[in-house]
């Protein structure tokens, strides 16, 4: 799994039938090489300017190959580190790099692009690859995201957690899964995660991200700017719904110092999460925070201070917080191979539970 933060290839091993989780294998990451990251940043800029109905940008094919090679090299070092070989695996689940995600509106269908040369990766690994998990959902009017909720429910069962409970993933965009007492799933993107903070710092030449939340912790929230950010019609739209990390403008914080801008954007992330609870009919017993955002003390402190429910990091429940998304796509790969649904009316807005994903390469009987 590579997220929109363009930070690393996250890897995780699961033994699963696509319903229950039998065992957890090792997990880890390898940082993206600078050349790959630069190529994907350029590709994302081009993708965002790509007119509908026009042929896809030529750079997409170069990026697909680069993503496949990046995953292969990351996995090679991962397997070597853990004494594994490709023959140990039945199937690989690979998300691909998102360079464009446009949610559907009344005037248009959605559009989502995850780049990966799956055929190339399958040849390099000698194993079948499950990929392209989102486009089938979008084609029938779904949001195409989030897709991890069915895994969050399986992970909660594996931990013996009693519903209702909520899992929050804070990546470039933050998304929440609300698991009801009866097992029903409601999931959607709550708002920005780390993405706006990262983009603000990068635009000001202050690094790639706010390490340890130092800038945000040194700043003060501008309540007027926060109110303006929260005035977006997105927050009044019914769930399920999805976002791209570029959907909110940084213009409202342009006049603020880096410290105050970071503090205000952290508050924006947190307040957007709390608005999500209003969309659910039952309050969860706990909020389990996954993803890179839980490493930012400013985000965790703000969530804990403002949340109406207990807030704990994934590790407090025995979850691997940096690996949940990678685990999720291993799980979704198994569901794809079994023909089980991966998206649902309460998670992406599709009319009925539906399968998704494609597989290249042969799966052993």
**Residues 85-105: what's their mean pLDDT?**
95
Is residue 191 a part of any domain in this protein?
yes
Q: In DSSP terms, which residues pair with 175 in a beta bridge? A: 169, 189
Is residue 314 a part of any domain in this protein?
no
| Residues written for the chain | 365
Query: Each residue of 246-265: pLDDT tens digit?
Result: 889 999 999 999 999 999 99
**Residues 2-14: what's their mean pLDDT?**
93
pLDDT(97) > 80:
yes
Is residue 349 a part of any domain in this protein?
no
Q: Say yes or no: 166 and 130 in one domain.
A: no
Q: Say yes or no: 98 and 162 in one domain.
A: no
Query: Each residue of 311-349: pLDDT tens digit?
Result: 999 999 999 998 999 999 999 999 999 999 999 999 999
pLDDT attached to residue 364: 62
Q: Is 8 annotated as a binding residue?
A: yes
**Residues 270-297: what's their mean pLDDT?**
87
Is residue 66 a part of any domain in this protein?
yes
Query: Each residue of 215-240: pLDDT tens digit?
Result: 999 999 999 999 999 999 999 888 88
Is residue 299 a part of any domain in this protein?
yes
Q: Say yes or no: 135 and 185 in one domain.
A: no
Question: pLDDT category, 118, cuts 50, 70, 90?
Answer: very high
Q: Say yes or no: 116 and 199 in one domain.
A: no
Q: Say yes or no: 289 and 179 in one domain.
A: yes
Q: Is 231 annotated as a binding residue?
A: no
Is residue 220 a part of any domain in this protein?
yes
Question: pLDDT category, 124, cuts 50, 70, 90?
Answer: very high
* Candidate from 39-43, 92-96, 306-310 with smallest mean pLDDT: 306-310
Number of domains comprising the chain: 2
Pair of tokens at residue 264: 């205000």
Question: pLDDT category, 109, cuts 50, 70, 90?
Answer: confident
Q: Is 10 annotated as a binding residue?
A: yes
Q: Can you give the residue range of the structural domain that contains 163?
A: 148-309
Q: Which helix (DSSP H) or strand (DSSP E) does residue 188 occupy?
A: strand 185-192
pLDDT(365) > 60:
no
Is residue 331 a part of any domain in this protein?
no
Is 214 in contact with 208 (CB distance < 8 Å)? no
Q: Say yes or no: 160 and 283 in one domain.
A: yes
Q: DSSP H helical segments within the chain, as ranges?
A: 34-48, 59-82, 118-125, 135-139, 149-158, 195-203, 214-218, 223-230, 258-277, 297-306, 324-338
Query: Each residue of 203-218: pLDDT tens digit?
Result: 999 999 999 999 999 9
Q: Say yes or no: 131 and 194 in one domain.
A: no
Q: Say yes or no: 119 and 16 in one domain.
A: yes
pLDDT(148) > 70:
yes
Q: Say yes or no: 69 and 171 in one domain.
A: no
Is residue 53 a part of any domain in this protein?
yes
**pTM for this entry:** 0.89
Q: Is 45 annotated as a binding residue?
A: no
Integer Cα distance of 84 and 73 in angstroms: 14
Q: Is 6 annotated as a binding residue?
A: yes
pLDDT(5) > 90:
no
> What mean pLDDT is reported for the chain?
94
**Residues 156-162: what's their mean pLDDT?**
91
Q: In DSSP terms, which residues pair with 154 in a beta bridge? A: none
Q: Is 7 annotated as a binding residue?
A: yes
Q: Say yes or no: 47 and 112 in one domain.
A: yes
CATH at 289: 3.30.420.40
Q: Say yes or no: 159 and 71 in one domain.
A: no
pLDDT attached to residue 248: 94
Q: Tokens 């464009």 appear where?
A: 100
pLDDT attached to residue 317: 94
pLDDT(21) > 80:
yes
Q: Say yes or no: 12 and 50 in one domain.
A: yes
């Amino acid at each position: 799994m590579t997220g929109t933060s363009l930070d690393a290839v996250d890897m995780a091993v699961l033994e699963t039938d696509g319903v229950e989780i039998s065992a957890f294998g090792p997990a880890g990451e390898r940082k993206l090489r600078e050349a790959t990251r630069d190529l994907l940043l350029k590709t994302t800029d081009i993708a965002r300017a790509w007119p509908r109905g026009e042929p896809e940008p030529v750079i997409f094919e170069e990026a697909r190959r680069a993503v496949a090679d990046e995953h292969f090299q990351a996995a090679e070092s991962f397997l070597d580190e853990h004494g594994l070989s490709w023959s140990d695996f039945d199937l690989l689940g690979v998300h691909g790099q998102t360079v464009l995600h446009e949610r559907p509106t009344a005037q248009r269908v959605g559009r989502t692009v995850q780049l990966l040369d799956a055929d190339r990766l399958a040849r390099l690994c000698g194993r079948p690859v499950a990929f392209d998990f989102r486009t089938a959902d979008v084609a029938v009017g779904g949001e195409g995201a989030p897709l991890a909720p069915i895994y969050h429910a399986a992970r909660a069962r594996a931990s013996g957690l009693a519903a209702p409970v909520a899992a929050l993933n804070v990546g470039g965009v933050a998304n929440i899964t609300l698991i009801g007492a009866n097992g029903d799933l409601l999931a959607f993107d709550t708002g920005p995660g780390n993405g706006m903070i990262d983009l603000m710092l990068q635009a000001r030449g202050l690094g790639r991200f706010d390490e340890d939340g130092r800038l945000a912790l040194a700043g003060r929230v501008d309540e007027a700017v926060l109110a303006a950010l929260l005035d977006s019609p997105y927050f009044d739209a019914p769930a399920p719904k999805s976002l791209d990390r570029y959907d909110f403008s940084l213009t409202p914080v342009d006049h603020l110092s880096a410290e105050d801008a970071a503090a205000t954007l952290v508050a924006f992330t947190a307040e957007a999460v709390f608005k999500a609870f209003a969309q659910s009919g039952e309050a969860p017993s706990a909020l389990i925070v996954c993803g890179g955002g839980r490493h930012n003390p400013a985000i965790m402190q703000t969530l804990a201070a403002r949340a109406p429910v207990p807030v704990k990091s994934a590790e407090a429940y025995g979850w691997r917080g940096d690996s949940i998304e990678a685990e999720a796509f291993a799980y979704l790969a198994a569901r794809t191979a079994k023909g089980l649904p991966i998206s649902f009316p309460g998670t992406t807005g599709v009319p009925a539970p539906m399968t998704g994903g494609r597989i290249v390469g042969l799966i052993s009987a």
